[in-house]
A = this chain, B = another copy of it.
């Protein structure tokens, strides 16, 4: 990573991890998981996307190299246990942190994939996986249809960010600036989508479920 300041990135990474973990823990609590189960769902939400990316890239998952991510997820669990009643009022800051985290995670995924020598289209896919598969696995664990496929341009914003990064690289912007622009495009896309309730169109199904079955 190559932003203006390493501190800014680290803070964004930790805030994003915290917000992702909170979202997993809160959904797990709505399903009456026990503390440990909620903790696992929180971790998986926070690190699941990057883990799938690293498994596909055939490298050691990033969270196995330093314990911060498990510790931050633990703090998120503690936070939900202690401030249970107040958390609803904190929806806006959580949402902001989550969106900042999303922007950062996608960019990290894109950059890491390029560093391993893959072409840009693989990097865009990996950035999208980094940003969105944690939430997808979370929804599988709590036995719900993945929300990211039905709401708020969530996953699509990741693709926009990846494409923006590619364009920045094509026009020879420096790496740090390209990353910042890509992250900002993801963050702004999502803020606008949520504010104005913009969604990707729903794919209309055949009325009958009588599809060719496999």
Kindly state whether residue A211 has any CB partner on chain B within 8 Å: yes
Kindly state whether residue A3 has any CB partner on chain B within 8 Å: no
A:137-189 near B, CB below 8 Å: 140-152, 154-156, 159
Kindly state whether residue A122 has any CB partner on chain B within 8 Å: yes
**A51: nearest chain-B partner, CB-CB:** B56
A211–B155 touching, CB < 8 Å:
no
B206–A88 touching, CB < 8 Å:
yes
B150–A33 touching, CB < 8 Å:
yes
B36–A149 touching, CB < 8 Å:
yes
A–B pairs, 16, beta carbons within 8 Å: A23-B214, A27-B211, A28-B203, A29-B205, A31-B205, A32-B150, A32-B202, A33-B149, A34-B150, A36-B159, A37-B203, A64-B125, A88-B210, A140-B141, A140-B143, A148-B214
Q: A25-B203, A80-B203, A98-B212 are in contact. List 12 more A-B contacts (CB 8 A).
A: A23-B212, A26-B206, A30-B205, A31-B145, A33-B150, A34-B149, A37-B146, A55-B55, A56-B64, A84-B204, A91-B212, A151-B213
Residues of A in contact with B (beta carbons under 8 Å apart): 23, 25-38, 40-41, 51, 55-61, 64, 67, 70, 77, 80-81, 84-85, 87-88, 91, 94-95, 98, 118, 121-122, 125, 135-136, 140-152, 154-156, 159, 199-206, 208-214
